[in-house]
Amino acid sequence: MKNAVGVAQPRIEGRAKVTGAARYAADVPIPGLAFGAVVLATVSLGRIRDIDVSAVQDMAGVLGVIDHRNAPRLNPKAGGFFGPDGQLQLLQDEVIPFAGRPVALVVAETLEQAQAAAEALPVTYDEEPHDTGFTADHPASRPAVAIFDEPVNVGDVEAELAASSVVVEEQYCTPEEHCSAMEPHSATAWWEGERLEAIDSNQGPFSIAVTLATLFSLSPDLVHVRTEHVGGGFGSKGLCGPQLILAAMAALLFGRPVRVTLTRAQVFLATAMRPAINQLIRIGADADGRLRAIHHEAAFEISPLVEYLEGCTELTKTLYAARSIRTRLSAVPLDILPPYSMRGPGATPGSFALESAMDELAERLGMDPLELRLRNEPVAGPVSGLPFSSRNLVACLREGARRFSWDTRDHRPRMRREGALLVGTGLAATSFSAGAFPSSATITAETDGTFTVAIGATDLGTGARTALTAIAADALAVGTERIRLRISDSGLGPAWGAGGSRGTTSWVWAITEAAEKLRGQECRGTVTVDTTRSLGELSSRERHSFSAVFAEVTVDPVTGEVRVRRLLGMFAVGRVVNPLMARSQVIGGMIGGLSMALHEEGIRDPVSGRHVNADFAGYHIAAHADVPDIEADFVPDYEPGIPMGVKGAGEIGNVGTAAAIANAVWHATGVRQRSLPIRLDRVLE
Amino acid sequence: MTNHHRSVISLQVNGVPHRLSVDNRTTLLDALREDIGHTGPKKGCDHGQCGACTVLLDGRRVVSCLTLAVAAEGAEITTAEGLAGDGELLPLQQAFIRLDGFQCGYCTSGQLCSAVGMLAEHTAGWPSAATADVSPDGPAPVLDAAEVRERMSGNLCRCGAYPSIVRAVLETAAQKETEG
């Protein structure tokens, strides 16, 4: 029988998606539905003085208003990965911790009625002086929570820097960035007796259901969350979102199904963003390019409501052999929307700093930036000393360089012109950690010869539905037509969500383990497995995906416009489950990186502290005209510790692209771009 | 509610006539989604900035979130659900599947309707900002990748399926030309 894994196949749900038949959270028809419109705080710090419900309660169709005076009490222990999350405690008191905090939900018979009443609802505040001004040396700065990406200090960084022939010491700044999935967060909730039913757009229905159960002090088996098609997440749908909490409250108070869909502005103002970050890099090297020291510090903003860690120094511990490495992360609490993971958290902004600094080092050494990277290839984890499970960065760099004709590059800046345009090329090396989290899966051998494979996975557009069908088919040694995959439902058992580039690895592990068990009983009956134990037996190794990104840009020095003309990524992401979808995914990541490099910047008004460009006119994400034809390909790679040899490809595409583009802009102009985005005014001559 | 807040309108949607009473504030997008039940058109921004709600109105592409339902009185609307009629998928839809012109699929209905409208605009000789010679006597613009990207830029895709979408549109256009 031919394997299904490794074969390029279009998506299973393709027909549904090109005919408009695929139903997303806001599309599912529900009888007796009422609509909730969210009202957000307009001040950055203070207290609600009054919400004048009487002004709207007689408006046509209005069923009522929920605010802190009548909202159901929520359990303050509810949280997630970073502990109890004050962001989830909606409508519990009159305190406003940031502009964009939901203060009320207006519920009405129709969407138009709910929106009109929400706009008309008078809310007054007692404002307090806020602080939304992020700087690295802010007096409130303190060490970041060390859940992962802990601070390290290997060797003597100061002595090695002093002994270095060349030292680069620079700061790199990245702004607040927004996940901007095309589907705004939407939830529909209703109560069936004691049981809370919800359809919600999220990245992992099981963990969302657990959080929701905790919030409403319900037994987890009384909360059921479904999420069939999700219009992208990129991190912003990893948490139990305001739409779901408010819909559940409204369904409880009004005794009927309620749908709450955030407006686009509300998605910007009230769902996860990447924090503003300021990074310091010091790299020292001998004249031959061998690294003596890397010192990497990053400071990022957080909210006092909940911990968060932007692990910017992950690559610094992975990519290069240096005699000494020191890293430190600091958090600055401010009166802002709580930051959270955005695609490639930590690694993406961290890579911009590290790989820009490496390019600056190559410049000062008078060395080919490709050669500088090859010369510092480590034999083991530079900090951990652990062996790499598989490391194919050099293959990515060499194959990318060949395809990009890198050997013809004149490494001096500002040497290429085409008419009025300056032309430059740049590269970046990249890694992203690989691993898996505990998940469960159930496989049932049906009497008709098919297999029902149930797992609490979700498909945000990653292709999980298609990939897991292929995985299950191979694991059971049957054709894909005999697999009936069930996902996107919290009732299917504990499972990691789609995030951290650990969706596929976690789910593959559970499915293959279940398949093995079922085959052990001659493919009869039903088996359920949980991978917690086998994951614990995984040996300690450095496990990462790797890539090399090459960019060519043109710069118009008169207008300051940068255009990316060519973008090539070579990837080592373990075994590729479906080359068609994997290529799409890493290309999409690279486009996210391009958008980060050139366009994306959340801007705050320093006086009000409010985010002022909360729409797609003010916050531009790359559009068709910004994006060239992009090349992406895979070098042979295999992860020995994870079933099927997979690593995960969801985020690595984003990681190196901004640095490759910034390095290309330097090569074109001779001017370094250490702040993103590379705006016209930063390039203009 | 008094009647001056509501209007009765007629719409032909994907070949089917509909007569419905709408709140005067209702957009064409909400009428299609909430009143008629065609949820193919999506609400990505409600501001005409993302293109996910794009439908064909009397054959031309419009953002249905910026079109009031009452202003579409009597119009013939085609949504993604109606592109293929009852039969086989359009070559464009097939190319989207084959070339993987989407990931999450949320923008796809809009991308498809926009591409159909855009190809018709190009066939009719309309220039774009990427057209070198826009004079009335100039040659018909050649539909290359730059033209497609410019003309499709009203349709955002956060998954980054742009290169595959452009390829699908160009292949479809070339196929049409060969078939003459």
Q: What is the pLDDT of residue A80?
A: 83
| Active-site residue, A651 included | yes
> Which chain B residue has its CA at the smallest distance from A266's CA?
B45
Residues of chain B found within 8 Å of residue A461, distances taken between Cβ atoms: 102-106, 159
Which of the following is catalytic: A228, A297, A639, A651? A651
> For residue B3, what pLDDT band results from cuts at 50, 70 and 90?
low
**Exposed e or buried b for every residue in A577-592, given b needs 16+ CB within 10 A?**
bbebbbbbbbbbbbbb
Q: What is the pLDDT of residues A635-662, one digit of tens each?
A: 999 999 999 999 999 999 999 999 999 9
Position B86 confidence tier, pLDDT thresholds 50, 70, 90? confident
Residues B112, B172 share a domain: yes
Instruction: Please provide the CATH number assigned to the domain covering A437-536.
Output: 3.30.365.10
Out of A26, A229, A591, whose CB is closest to B162?
A: A591
Final residue of a structural domain among B82, B111, B142:
B82
Examine the pLDDT at A127 and tell me if it is beyond 80: yes
pLDDT tens digits, residue range B117-170?
A: 999 999 999 999 999 999 888 888 999 999 999 999 999 999 999 999 999 999
Q: What ipTM does the predicted assembly reach?
A: 0.97
pLDDT band at A334 (very low <50, low <70, confident <90, very high): very high
CA distances from A556 to A626, A628, A640, A680, B132 (A): 15, 17, 47, 9, 19
Task: Dump pLDDT digits (tens) for A23-40.
Answer: 999 999 999 999 999 999
pLDDT at residue number A171: 98
Same structural domain, B100 and B62:
no
- Asked if residues B77 and B117 have their Cβ atoms less than 8 Å apart, the reply is no
Q: Are A14 and B97 in contact (CB under 8 A)?
A: yes
Of A573, A646, A586, the C-alpha closest to A395 is A573
Measured CA distances, A194 to A156, A191, A197, A242, A512 (Å): 61, 7, 10, 21, 36
Distance of CA A530 to the CA centre of its chain: 26
- Cα(B30)–Cα(B152) distance, rounded to whole angstroms? 23
Interface probe with B: pick from A199, A229, A624, most Cβ of B within 10 Å: A624
Written as six digits, the tokens of A397 are: 């760099």
Q: Cβ neighbours of residue A386 under 8 Å, at least 6 residues apart? A: A380, A540, A541, A542
Share the mean pLDDT of chain A.
Answer: 97
Q: Which tokens hold the place of A549?
A: 């990104």
Q: Is the same domain home to B67 and B131?
A: no
User: Which distant-in-sequence residues (6+ apart) come within 8 Å of B128 by Cβ?
Assistant: B141, B147, B150, B151
Share of residues in chain A with pLDDT > 90 (%): 98
Partner-chain contact B106 A615, CB within 8 Å: no
Which residue among B64, B82, B100 closes a domain? B82
pLDDT at A213: 98
**Same domain? B108 vs B172:** yes
Angle CA(B171)–CA(B173)–CA(B177) in degrees, nearest 5?
115
Asked whether residue B107 falls in the same domain as residue B48, the answer is no
Fold match between domain A25-129+182-232+237-271 and domain A437-536: yes
Q: Which CATH class is domain A25-129+182-232+237-271?
A: alpha beta
Residue A262 and residue A247 in contact, taking contact as beta carbons nearer than 8 Å = no
Domain range annotation of chain A: 25-129+182-232+237-271, 142-177+274-434+541-683, 437-536
Name which of A64-68, A147-151, B53-57 the model is least confident about. Answer: A147-151
| B12 and B40 in a common domain | yes
Cβ separation A183–B96 shorter than 8 A:
no
Range of the domain at B173: 91-179
Do B23 and B96 fall within a single domain? no
End position of a domain, from candidates B30, B64, B82:
B82
**In chain A, what residues touch B81 (CB-CB under 8 Å)?**
19-21
Alpha-carbon gap, residue A10 to A270, rounded angstroms: 35
pLDDT tens digits along A37-62 = 999 999 999 999 999 999 999 999 99
Q: Check whether residue B34 and residue B17 sit in a common domain.
A: yes
Between CA A684 and CA B95, with CA B149 as vertex, the angle to 5 degrees is 150
Query: Is the same domain home to B106 and B77?
Result: no
Q: What are phi and psi of B68, to 5 degrees?
A: -70, 145
> Could you tell me how far CA A214 lies from the centroid of its own chain?
25
CA distance B7 to B1: 12
- One domain, residues B10 and B53: yes
- The mean pLDDT value of chain B amounts to 95
From the list B37, B55, B34, the residue with the least C-alpha distance to B111 is B55
Determine the residue of chain A that is closest to B2 in CA distance.
Answer: A60
Residues of chain B contacting A615 with CB distance shorter than 8 Å: 45, 47, 49
Q: Where are the beta strands (DSSP E) in A523-600?
A: 526-530, 544-556, 561-572
The angle at the Cα of A414, spanning A410 to A415, to the nearest 5 degrees, equals 45
Q: How confident is the model at residue B176, as a pLDDT?
A: 84
Given pLDDT bands bounded at 50, 70 and 90, which one contains residue B180? low
Q: What DSSP line would sit under A287-309, residue for residue?
A: TTS-EEEEEEEEEEEEBTTB---
pLDDT of residue B1: 45
User: Both B56 and B95 in a single domain?
Assistant: no
Same domain, B74 and B117: no
CATH of the domain at B28: 3.10.20.30
pLDDT digits (tens, 9 = 90+) for A391-425: 999 999 999 999 999 999 999 999 999 999 999 99
- Which band of pLDDT confidence, cut at 50, 70 and 90, is reported for residue A617? very high
From the candidate CATH numbers 3.40.1180.10, 2.60.40.10, 3.30.365.10, 1.20.120.80, the one assigned to the domain spanning A142-177+274-434+541-683: 3.30.365.10
Mean pLDDT within B4-24: 96
Query: For the residues of A586-644, what is the DSSP string, one character each?
Result: HHHHHHHHHHHHHT--B-B-TTT--BS--STTTS----GGG---EEEEE-----TTSGG
Shortest Cα distance, chain B CAs vs residue A126, angstroms: 31
How close, in Å, is residue B74 to chain A by CA atoms? Answer: 22
* B39/A581 CB distance under 8 A: no
Kindly indicate the confidence band of residue A82, based on its pLDDT and cuts at 50, 70 and 90.
confident
pTM, rounded to two decimals? 0.98
